Chain A
Amino acid sequence: MANVHDVPKDTFRLSMLLYDTRYRSLTIQVVIFMLFMAGIAWLIDNTVDNLRALGKDPVFDYSFLGNRAGYDISQRLIEYTNDSTHARAMLVGLLNTLLVSVLGCIAATILGVFAGVLRLSKSWIVARLMTVYVEVTRNVPLLLWILLVYAVFTEAMPAPNAFRPNAEGVAGASMILGDSVAITNRYTAIPNPMYVRDLGTISLGIVHISVNFLVLVAIIAGSIWANRRILAHAAAVQEATGVRPTTWWKSLLTLFGPVVAFLWFMGFHLEYPELKGFNFAGGINVTNSLMALWLALTLYTAAFIAEIVRAGIQAISKGQTEAAFALGLRPGRTMSLVILPQALRVIIPPLISQYLNLTKNSSLAIAVGYLDLRGTLGGITLNQTGRELEAILLMAGIYLTISLIISGAMNVYNKSVKLKER
């Protein structure tokens, strides 16, 4: 195509798109982008074609989620029977995924921080022990850890009927912690918290939440808020007068007083598990698959967190420790008041990745038959309904959403602890 502009200064010729460095990069980007889009279009077209060739409807139809699921799930946080829908089974699975992820993140953080700090211990044996823990744990695949812990539970623990006294009145196994917890090769039976008085439940469309539980959470939140006010007031008095008023008994009273009073009023008690028929009843049976998954995820992720914590601590200059010591702070307080707060800004970003890893790794639950999102939606539902593509895409979408939420929340926290430059 001929050039139509004749003003020499602003001449633009098509060839300039290729030979003029001002435009070349733009040309390349446009071409690459078009190729990329063509690639995606081809993939989608290919999928639809192949689905059609297999005789499947290429239109994504999620109506199967409304059908009766028909299967049972042993570990569940909300009401579910085999008459419930696939969507509800998916929700049960999602909650199971979140349960093990949250428990795992909390436990891994605590264990990881301890291991990381202890690895820097001056005691040779403690430091070496932690090195061994970290290196052994993180260098063996997670799946093997899950299977190992699960095997320990199922093979080494006694069966529930071993707890039953035989003819001589002697049982093969006994419960621990004052006859309140029974670890069996199927589940760990723990006491069930119960109330004599019940405030009823609130129905949130699909989930029913106990009002007792909500009130308890509200009271705890209120106590923590009140305690912070007391501490802030003490700090203000200290600023003004130089003397810090004693707060420990006020804190104890605000933190525990209302909770204890509420529990007493509601008639809180524990229902202990008892052997009935084949299994323990009365308490809460935490399945071994959940225990194994939780422990393995915790041990594995904690090893990585330990290394992140160690790196964070070592990133703080030695001068900070020496300055704290010079002020007369004991080593423990130096760590908690001076080093860790500064180390956090190095620790948080990689810690986010570890939380994300742990959440996504929880999909290995399938190895031990823990019915998480992968087990319900991506396992049984997928199999019984035959909607592979729909189920997998939905599952990927849900995992993506969970990960983005974790990442977002942690980034907010990161903003609050990172170095503030003035």
Chain B
Amino acid sequence: MKKSVFLGTLSAAALSAGIASAATLDDVKARGELNCGVTTGLTGFAVPDANGNWTGFDVAVCRAVAAAVLGDPAKVKFVPTTGQTRFTALASGEVDMLARNTTWTFSRDTDLKFDFVGVNYYDGQGFMVRKDLGVSSAKELAGATICIQTGTTTELNLADYFKANNMEYQPVAIETNAEGEQQYLAGACDAYTTDASGLAATRAAFADPENHIILPEIISKEPLGPLVRHGDNEWGDIVMWTLNALVAAEEYGITSANLEEQAANSPNPEVKRLLGSSEDDLGAMIKLDKEWAKRAIAASGNYGEIFAATIGESTPIGLARGLNAQWTQGGLLYSPPFR
């Protein structure tokens, strides 16, 4: 009896695991909670506060998706993942999506069987060193010891960059950003390298940020974006268009403050379509209700608001919009039309 119950449970678990990867949307709805993979803690991007509430730039994407799908931005279970565990977590179905400053690359999109649904931060890899090291360019780092998170694209870029410049270096492999921070501060490495945004965020958390500089060289393209499992296009569409909705909202001037007013009175038919106050029912096309995008925007505001609140110039991290400005402002953010 016991044995049969055990076997039954096993096969049920196996069956449900098999189904989970097939229709993530139904699974999330049935669960009433979105499992979202984030970093183990990177100030500004994804970090839990004293009460265990996650906040940050990547977290806002998770919350927007939860708001669109489940109607409540709080219904997210954040799963911290390291550079090494993130892909296994997503592939195995432990998380429904990753919003974890992950670089969109060819092999990840194809060979690893994931789908990147867009870019929420255009980044590049940089180096941070102590000011008193007297280094002003990455080209002067020959022979340096460099801390690097394993299992990342930065690891490969670093190897390529030093090879291209015919320089030697000693890599110190670390697992999480917190560990890297500790090693760097202890002086176990001369330089810490990761995405420039990550460096700025890490530096902001130092006791003496003014004693550390980020070198001017940006050695790679790092388009960071949320990703989902390959093969479930329905779910991929939802995450993609939620992200696009946040970007479009900024472009059309829809903010969390004027959301209701825009929905009711906007002269722009696209705004009305986006917010679900026109005749067209865009939500039904992705198996959601009419006001999905409105809720997504209401969760933490439009892209610009999220940026300003989490990593923008008024925060300790102080990142400029740069490439991440709207296309109308000379940046790369460009949402396809909602039609």
Contact = CB atoms under 8 A, between A and B. Distances in A.
A310 interface: no
Contacts of B113: 54-56, 386
A384 B152 CA distance: 8
A182 interface: no
Contacts of B171: 71-74
B155 A71 contact: yes
Interface string A20-40: 000000000000000000000
Interface stretch (B51-59, B182-190, B304-312): B182-190
A53 B22 contact: yes
A380 interface: yes
Interface stretch (B172-180, B203-211, B250-258, B316-324): B172-180
A159 B150 contact: no
Contact of B173 (A276, A281, A375): A375
B151 interface: yes
B285 interface: no
Interface stretch (B30-38, B84-92, B271-279): B84-92
A386 B87 contact: yes
Contacts of B11: 42
B229 to A, nearest CB: 7
Given A55-B231, A154-B186, A278-B144, A82 B87 contact: no
A179 interface: no
B143 A278 contact: yes
B14 A185 contact: no
A379 B183 CA distance: 20
B286 interface: no
B137 interface: no
Interface stretch (B156-164, B193-201, B328-336): B156-164
Interface string B287-331: 000000000000000000000000000000000000000000000
Contacts of B87: 383, 386
B151 A74 contact: no
B156 A185 contact: no
Contact of B189 (A50, A73, A186, A383): A186
B83 interface: yes
A380 B145 contact: no
Interface in B105-120: 107-108, 111-113
A385 B87 CA distance: 11
Nearest to A369: B173
Interface residues of B, number: 47
B156 A49 contact: no
Contacts, number: 113
Nearest to B159: A82
A288 B112 contact: no
Contact of B21 (A53, A73, A369): A53
A279 B170 contact: yes
Contacts of B187: 159, 185
A154 B188 contact: yes
A53 B15 CA distance: 11
Contacts of A81: 163
B307 to A, nearest CB: 29
Interface string B39-78: 0000000000000000000000000000000000000000
Contacts of A277: 142-144
A384 B172 contact: no
Given A155-B186, A278-B144, A54 B229 contact: yes
A339 to B, nearest CB: 46
Contact of A279 (B108, B143, B183): B143
Contacts of A56: 91, 113
The 6 closest A-B pairs by CB, nearest first: A383-B151, A82-B159, A369-B173, A386-B112, A159-B187, A277-B143
Given A55-B230, A369-B174, 11 more contacts: A49-B14, A54-B91, A71-B159, A73-B171, A74-B171, A81-B163, A186-B188, A277-B142, A278-B141, A369-B150, A369-B175
29 contacts: A42-B11, A50-B17, A50-B21, A54-B93, A56-B91, A56-B113, A71-B150, A71-B155, A72-B159, A74-B171, A74-B172, A82-B159, A154-B183, A154-B186, A159-B187, A186-B145, A186-B170, A186-B172, A278-B143, A369-B173, A375-B173, A379-B84, A379-B151, A380-B150, A380-B151, A384-B151, A384-B156, A386-B87, A386-B113
Interface of B: 11, 14, 17-18, 21-22, 83-84, 87-88, 91-93, 107-108, 111-113, 141-145, 150-151, 155-156, 158-160, 163, 169-175, 183, 186-190, 229-231
